[in-house]
Amino acid sequence: MSEKTVLWEASEGVGRITLNRPQTLNAWIAEFGAELRDIVTGPAAESDVRAVLITGAGRGFSSGADLKAGFDPHPEDRRPDVKKELHEVYHPAIAGIRRLPKPVVAAVNGPAVGIGCSLALAGDLVLAAESAFFGLAFVNIGLMPDGGSTLFVPAAVGKARAFQMALLGERVTAEQALDWGLVNWVHPDDRLMPEAEELVTRLAHGPTRSYAGSKRALNNMLYPNLDGQLDLEAEIQHELARSDDFLEGVGAFVEKRDPAFTGA
């Protein structure tokens, strides 16, 4: 297996990004986020790449942040330096996908949870396997949604369902995600990648400048303050990462028990 946590391959106008930490269901660590950011802002942005496909190796798309790997400590209080990681690694990857002047297709196999859900929804077109599921599980460890999902989710599903996802952190099945407008198509598990390859190949042979123009205009309509919202997410998340509830949430997750939140 490659030592790279994110793989890149390009051929015939199609760039393929494969999240490559299958042993953790492609959970994010700093190295993973940095490699994804560098691919999105580097080779994926080259003009000979006309469409991009993102998927996960193994049984899942991405299970979110790797809580067992921990977080880099802030030099002042030694609490997790979430703001730095979001600003320097996670959010540039997400914003980079939205700003690529070409279609980005996400093929979601298995869980897309937390920042993994944000990444999937950052795609322009989203296909899901029947066994896939989505979730803003941040609340389960005392955090709030980040990775742009406070933009992507309400734009897709509206106020009621956005609050439902953010406050309850429940699983949204593939069929439910299709019904809500989170994804474009649901396919049998064994048809996900053939269907995704067919779609991204079609896009790679399409009118690239037309796609870029549509994406730019739709971004302006749907996400006119993307950078500002990402900054706000980082600020709030940084505060929450200093709370007792966050420490309790992470501890409960690692110990596989129910958390006892106090609101502190």
Checking if the pLDDT of 42 tops 50, the result is yes
Euclidean distance between CA atoms 30 and 65, whole angstroms: 9
pLDDT of 70 reads 64
Checking if the pLDDT of 74 tops 80, the result is no
pLDDT of 51 reads 98
Q: What Cα–Cα distance (Å) separates residue 155 from each residue in 21, 40, 162, 221?
A: 30, 23, 9, 10
* Mean pLDDT (whole number) for 77-81: 73
pLDDT of 72 reads 66
Tokens in use for 66? 């790797």
Q: What proportion of the chain, given as a percentage, has pLDDT over 70? A: 96
Checking if the pLDDT of 69 tops 80, the result is no
Reported as a single tens digit per residue, the pLDDT across 124-171 is 999 999 999 999 999 999 999 999 999 999 999 999 999 999 999 999
Which residues in 57-180 belong to E strands, given as ranges? 104-108, 111-113, 125-129, 133-135, 172-173
Strands 133-135 and 172-173, sheet pairing? antiparallel
Sheet bearing 104-108, strands edge to edge: 6-11, 14-19, 51-56, 104-108, 125-129, 185-187
Question: Which one has a higher pLDDT value, 76 or 106?
Answer: 106
Checking if the pLDDT of 8 tops 70, the result is yes
Checking if the pLDDT of 82 tops 90, the result is no
Q: Which ranges in 113-173 belong to alpha helices (H)? A: 115-122, 149-157, 159-168
Asked if 124 and 215 count as a contact pair (C-beta separation under 8 A), the reply is yes
* Mean pLDDT (whole number) for 199-217: 98
Element spanning 184, H or E:
none
Half-sphere exposure at residue 212, Cβ-oriented, CA atoms within 13 angstroms? 12
Checking if the pLDDT of 62 tops 80, the result is yes
Reported as a single tens digit per residue, the pLDDT across 189-198 is 999 999 999 9
Other Cβ atoms within 10 Å of 70 Cβ, number: 12
Domains recognised in the chain with CATH numbers: 6-190+208-255 (3.90.226.10)
Other Cβ atoms within 10 Å of 188 Cβ, number: 10
* Sign of the CA dihedral running 21, 23, 24, 30: negative
Task: Provide the pLDDT confidence category of residue 172 given band limits of 50, 70 and 90.
Answer: very high
Other Cβ atoms within 10 Å of 207 Cβ, number: 11
pLDDT of 1 reads 47
Euclidean distance between CA atoms 89 and 102, whole angstroms: 21
Tokens in use for 189? 């598990």
Checking if the pLDDT of 77 tops 90, the result is no
Other Cβ atoms within 10 Å of 46 Cβ, number: 11
pLDDT of 2 reads 55
Mean pLDDT score across all residues of the chain: 94
